[in-house]
A and B are shown apart, each in its own frame.
Chain A
Amino acid sequence: MATTRERVEETQDQTIESPERYRSLWSDVWRQFRRHKGAMVGLVLLLVIMFGSYVGPLIYPLDPFAIDTSQASLTPSLDHPMGTDNLGRDVMARVMVGGRISLSVGIAAMIVGVVIGTVVGILSGFFSKLDGILMRGTDMFLALPILPLLLVIIMLFRDPLREAFGPELGIFILVVSIIGITSWMQTARVVRGDVLALKEQEFVLAAHSIGSRKRSVVFRHIFPNVLSPVMVAAALGVAIAIITESALSFLGLGFPSDFPTWGRLLFDAQGYITITPMRVLWPGILISLTVISVNFIGDGLRDALDPKLRSQ
């Protein structure tokens, strides 16, 4: 029984040293991942959505910003597959452009959040001296009122960022960093919990007892073993980021009104739900589908990365 664990530890220790074995671990993961139906469907779906968002606007002929009030609030037709909004703009064109922004925000913010969360979680779980301070810091971040915080951050940094990067990139950086720095805490706590448990396990104790340096223990033993919660956290992170971005747009704090994102489109459309329901449904469905796909991919990764499950 215990041989499984030993074998895995052995594999992981060697993977870092030899590049060939490293690649074979990942191809192993990929093999396992492909067996997860949900994850594969999610991956395909996500690729389709990403293709539609990033490449779609280049192919699709209609301009998402062209206003024509004589074409306002049309139901779907051949000319406008998703209908038009109250200013006569084509909803499909807007949904595609919106997806580009929403996905980019989601991915970028997730990376920020997960990196901070993992670092804090590992440091806090592994080094008991840092634990108190870092966890109180995490508590504080969790306890902070996000809304007024956002108001302040936007007030303080919108102008300088706009000056530095232009209105679009400026607000993008702002929104991404706001979501990132307000969403890392759960990851940190989960990672810390795992690290606390790992720390007491035999192989870590063994590594300590043979005189491994702390840094190598962290990188060789702790980090690979928290990878699966981190992956899951990353998947959830994209979801949370996309939803947070929608909520921000709702409060008028996100992107400006001429800068459609799925959240913004959904909130602009909610008043028209009985007249042009497609305007509400499409962004809502796409947000949901993207999040579902990402979550399934997270599930697949989790199973594929888990050595215990893989060996079964």
Chain B
Amino acid sequence: MKRIKWLALFAVLALVLAACGDGDDGAADTTEGATATTEATTDTTEAPDTGGMAGQGGALTLLQWQAASTLNPLLSGGTKELLAASLILEPLAEYDPAGNLVAVLAADVPTVADDLLSVTWTLKEGVTWSDGSAFTADDVVFTYEYCTQTADCTQSGFFTGITSVEAVDATTVTITFETETPFPYNAFVTYQSPILQKAQFENCVGTDAVACTDENFGPIGTGPYMVNDFKVNDTALYDYNPNYRGAEDGKPFFGTVLIKGGGDAEASARSVLELGEADYGWNLQVDPVVLANMEDTGIGVVLAGFASNVERLMINQTDPDPDLGDQRSEPGTTHPFLTDPAVYQALSMAINRQELVDVGYGFAGSPTCNVWPGAPYASTANDACLVQDIDGANALLDEAGYLDTDGDGIREDPDTGDPLFVLYQTSTNAVRQSNQDLVKSYWAQIGVDTELKNIDASVFFGGDQASPDTYQVFYSDIEMYTNGAGSPDPQTYMSNWTTDQVISPSANFGGGNIPRYSSAEYDALYLELTTTGDLDRRIEIVKELNDLVIQAGAMIPLIWRGSVSAFANSIGGVGDLNAWDSEYWNVEDWTRSE
């Protein structure tokens, strides 16, 4: 009997020990593998030494609190996976932090053919994959075929509107478009559309793509690093690529890179800025006061990079009243008061954008009144919103007849007699919630009652048709989130306000027009943009489109948001933070100084 009493305990103990033992063995195996590869590579890199030897700089530790789930960026599309893969795989061209195109695997950046129907890329000579084989036009063509034939390819959006990708010779690739395409730099441009090696992925096309775990977790690339060990959603360990084209110049400096996941933004910031446990921390959306406080420790620095992301309030143009049943938030209905210029202008005027920035974003945000916030496309016509004007907003509402008739501090709609009450939703996130609180307090001052709602991000940004809580379904009056363009050219992004893109909850899936804004004038102007090649005229059109959206009150822009990352002071050669492309876009130039 006595023995049996401890049986359960022993069972647990045995289980724990057995599992621990296994873990050790597994880990030890990988290290042996690691040392083996390192030895092998040192043999081959007795290269001419100009700027020091490649890989001399030891280990670089990058914290990505959301870790990569795969290293095949074409099967994931999430920023975390794209970043982790950008150390290995490269596109033809990428953007620098200023938004200029820079050739990577291409010899230079080509221009579109005169008829706007094709573009021809010439590849850089002498580029090899990390296994030593040559990089050719066939790899580029294969990548196109891979993505278009594989249903799981998340990046197929980069290849829409393309009729063919052909290899003219070993170093020339021609892309042909269905329609006039004044801006041809989508396919194979940026870390979102990198090139896979044909030899490796040949048998992984279509339904086989998913089963190729070894390939997806260890793609062979042309970039400065190659995979040593990959653990799903946890860590990725890289060795430098001795066949990298910069190896003769001593690039990359760091011999190994470790991308470590886990925790949250704040803990990552602390690791880099206060504890010196890592060299880089990604995506640190943390209260600016807290970040600044951590930065004061003096061992790291916070950088911000700006693209076109704008934190905005989307104003529902349709009626989200639940009593409408299946007509709720459907195009065709009209919001009882939010489409009235007096109301949406007053809502916008009442907001103190600078305060929202100070509370939530610090130097990683700046107030904006535009759909497209950055030069050269930014309009100046709406800048009045930068100054909060409670009195003006109150006067505007008074004038339009929205008065507080029953003395409860909330104005009533003169037509229906209903109080001005808005349901205001966003995703769950500390900064968003503090901004929600502030906006609610501004609107209280102009007699508008606000109910706040926050929804888990995996639901809010999900596309589940059954869920009433997604941002597309938009069963609320106002919602807040961030969106921006994928590239410095605004064309694709501006399509999000055209009538074809209007979302209808009852349709299977809609487009990107979340507020269901519809205007013939906008549609006509947008059509003109898609066929105009002249840059000055394009800038003019984008500004006009921008002003139409703002003045119709389909969107109240709040903050131009940058991405925020932290670097240890000892890391050099980073330059500005790249918000248009991978933050690791120039990782081969990073060095460590003491």
Contact = CB atoms under 8 A, between A and B. Distances in A.
Interface of A: 65, 67, 69, 72-73, 86-87, 151, 155, 159, 163, 167, 251-253, 256-258, 268, 270-272, 274-275
A259 B469 CA distance: 20
Interface string B306-326: 000000000000000010000
A258 B441 CA distance: 11
Interface of B: 266, 286-287, 289-290, 293-294, 322, 355, 358-359, 428, 430, 433-434, 436-438, 440-441, 451-456, 459, 467-469
B456 A151 contact: yes
A65 B444 CA distance: 12
A213 to B, nearest CB: 38
A252 B434 contact: no
A253 B456 contact: yes
B290 A272 contact: yes
Given A69-B358, A268-B430, A87 B455 contact: no
A258 B358 CA distance: 19
B468 A252 contact: no
Contacts of A163: 322
B289 A275 contact: yes
A159 B322 contact: yes
A271 B436 contact: no
Given A69-B358, A257-B454, A258-B440, A271 B459 contact: no
Contacts of A268: 430, 433
B456 A252 contact: yes
Contacts of B290: 271-272, 274-275
19 contacts: A65-B437, A69-B358, A72-B289, A72-B359, A87-B438, A151-B456, A155-B469, A159-B322, A163-B322, A252-B428, A256-B453, A257-B433, A257-B454, A258-B437, A268-B433, A272-B290, A274-B290, A275-B289, A275-B293
Given A163-B322, A167-B451, A271 B287 contact: yes
Contacts of A65: 437, 441
A271 B430 CA distance: 10
A78 to B, nearest CB: 23
Contacts of B322: 159, 163
B459 A87 contact: no
A155 B468 contact: yes
A86 B469 contact: no
Smallest CB-CB A-B distances: 3 pairs: A252-B428, A257-B433, A67-B441
A258 B452 contact: yes
A251 B430 CA distance: 11
Nearest to A272: B290
A73 B469 CA distance: 33
- Central interface residue in A65, A87, A271, by most chain B CB within 10 Å: A271
Nearest to B291: A271
A86 B289 contact: yes
A239 B271 CA distance: 33
Contacts of B469: 155
A214 to B, nearest CB: 34
B408 to A, nearest CB: 15
Contacts of B452: 256-258
Contacts of A86: 287, 289, 359, 434
Nearest to B441: A67
Given A86-B359, A151-B456, 12 more contacts: A65-B437, A155-B467, A159-B322, A159-B468, A163-B322, A251-B456, A252-B455, A257-B454, A258-B437, A270-B266, A271-B287, A274-B290
B266 A252 contact: no
B437 A271 contact: no
A20 to B, nearest CB: 47
B370 to A, nearest CB: 24
Contact of A271 (B266, B455, B468): B266
- Central interface residue in A155, A159, A163, A274, by most chain B CB within 10 Å: A155
A219 B585 CA distance: 74
B388 to A, nearest CB: 12
Nearest to B352: A69
Nearest to A69: B355
Nearest to A259: B452
A67 B437 contact: yes
